Every structure is written in C-alpha cells, then in structure tokens.
Amino acid sequence: MRVVIAEDHALLRDGLTRLLEAFDFEVVATVDNGPSLLPALIAHKPDVAVIDVRLPPTFTDEGLQAAIAARTEIPGLPVLVLSQHVEALYARELLGDRVGGVGYLLKDRISNVAQFVDAVHQVAEGGTVMDPEVVARLLARSRPLDVLTTREREVLGEMAAGRSNAAIAAKLFVTEKAVSKHINNIFTKLDLPPSDDDNRRVLAVLAYLNA
C-alpha cells in the first residue's frame, strides 16, 4: 500500500516513515512543506496520504488546502489528516466530500500504534476515521450541543470514531439496545436521517456540519 507523508518536523516525519514501513506500507514520498505536497500527490497517486494541517511556509492550513486541491485532481484520493490543530473551515470541506476515504486525528490523542495503523488502513480502503474531539469541536462551532444529553454526546463521539453499536455498548458499558436508542435520539435532535452503516453515520454527521 503506497503512502505519501507530509510533515514538517523531521523526527516525526522519519518516525512515521519507519512505523508505516514496519507494517508493510510503501512510503513513496515525504514532503516538509505545502508547495511540495500537491505535486507529490498528483505525481504518485498514493493509496493514502498522511498529512499535517500546518506546513511551511505560512504554517496555517497548507496541508488541508493541498489535500482538497489534490482530491479535485484525483477524485476519491484517501487522505488522513494527522495534526495538533482543528481547522474548521477546510476540515468541513475535506470531510464533507463523500467520495473516497477521509480521516482526521489529533497527534496528542494517539496513544496506540495498532489503532493508528488500523486508521490508515481504514482510510485507504475508503472508510472514515474521526477523532471524537475533532467532531466535538466542529459541532460546537456549527451548532451548540446543548440539545444532546451527556450520554448522547459520548455516543456521538464514539460513533464518529467509526465504532459499531456493539463496540460502543462495550466501551460505555450499556446494552446495544440502549446505544441504538441514543443514536436515534441524536439523529432526531440534529435533524439527521438514521442509518445503521458506520461510515454513512459519520458522513451524516459531516453532512450536518456542512449544512
């Protein structure tokens, strides 16, 4: 599986390269700045791109802008954003695109190598992987979550992370029936159509963010 990495910190860029190669990924290119990212993505057409949001020269949102531009040139290009920041405007544009796998993870919340590698695989295979904190911040900027109960917010976070009803139930120590009820309540309160498909559920949340 071919990967392009965009990260300006040399140690982290090297660490990501070594980590992914250890799990049988082929890192076909690494870049450390925004202007180099788009040409690399177009030239290599990787199975998945792992990118930081803020890259030189301006350290604002070059990574996300390059990813969005690349997906215009290569529809469905899988992109996993790995960043310390949530850039709401461009994140909504990237994540609201229903074609191809997308993900958005926060660096300081990744504590398990296996889960990270699994997230890269999921995005490469067309899935959606979202850090619950990212969804919470985007939702908070789009519309207050006061309409949801504390438990419903917890379920929404787990659902946005791509977990099944069974996995949510196990993590929150409740029954699957209770999870299903919470999810239906969430969809109702946020005016979203219910769906049992994990990826479509995440995309429904992202569609709500774009509304």
Q: Are the C-beta atoms of residues 21 and 30 closer than 8 Å to each other?
A: no
Q: What is the pLDDT of residue 40?
A: 97
Answer whether residue 140 shows pLDDT above 80.
no
33 confidence band (pLDDT: 50, 70, 90): very high
Q: What is the pLDDT of residue 13?
A: 96
Q: Name the segment(s) of the chain with CATH classification 3.40.50.2300.
A: 2-130
Per-residue pLDDT of 158-188, as tens digits, reads: 876 667 899 999 999 999 999 999 988 887 7
The DSSP code sequence of 116-145 is HHHHHHHHHTT-EEE-HHHHHHHHHHHS-S
Per-residue pLDDT of 85-117, as tens digits, reads: 877 766 777 776 667 788 889 988 888 899 899
Sheet holding 102-106, edge to edge: 26-31, 2-6, 48-51, 79-83, 102-106, 128-130
Buried b (16+ CB within 10 A) or exposed e, 148-166: beeebbbbbbbbbbbbebe
Tokens of 55: 């890259």
135 confidence band (pLDDT: 50, 70, 90): confident
**Range 29-53 average pLDDT:** 96
Q: What is the pLDDT of residue 191?
A: 66
Write the burial class of residue 61 (CB in 10 Å: 0-12 exposed, 13-18 middle, 19+ buried): buried
209 confidence band (pLDDT: 50, 70, 90): low
Answer whether residue 55 shows pLDDT above 70.
yes
Answer whether residue 41 shows pLDDT above 60.
yes
CA atoms within 13 A on the CB side of 84: 9
CATH architecture for residues 136-210:
Orthogonal Bundle (1.10)
Tokens of 192: 């979203």
Give CA–CA dist 128/202, Å, rounded. 7
User: What residues pair up with 50 in beta bridges, in sequence order?
Assistant: 5, 80
Tokens of 199: 């990826």
205 confidence band (pLDDT: 50, 70, 90): low
Q: Is the pTM of this model over 0.75?
A: no
Per-residue pLDDT of 57-89, as tens digits, reads: 988 888 988 998 999 999 999 999 998 887 776
How many helices (H) and strands (E) are present in the chain, helices listed first? Answer: 10, 6
Tokens of 72: 């215009």
Strands (E), 15-140: 26-31, 48-51, 79-83, 102-106, 128-130
Percent of the chain exceeding pLDDT 70 equals: 81
What's the mean pLDDT when you consider all of the chain? Answer: 84
Percent of the chain exceeding pLDDT 90 equals: 46
Q: Name the segment(s) of the chain with CATH classification 1.10.10.10.
A: 136-210
Q: What is the CATH number of domain 2-130?
A: 3.40.50.2300
CA distances (Å), origin 169, targets 59, 91, 94, 159, 179: 40, 29, 30, 11, 6
Which residue shows structure tokens 């963010």?
A: 209
Q: What is the pLDDT of residue 22?
A: 96
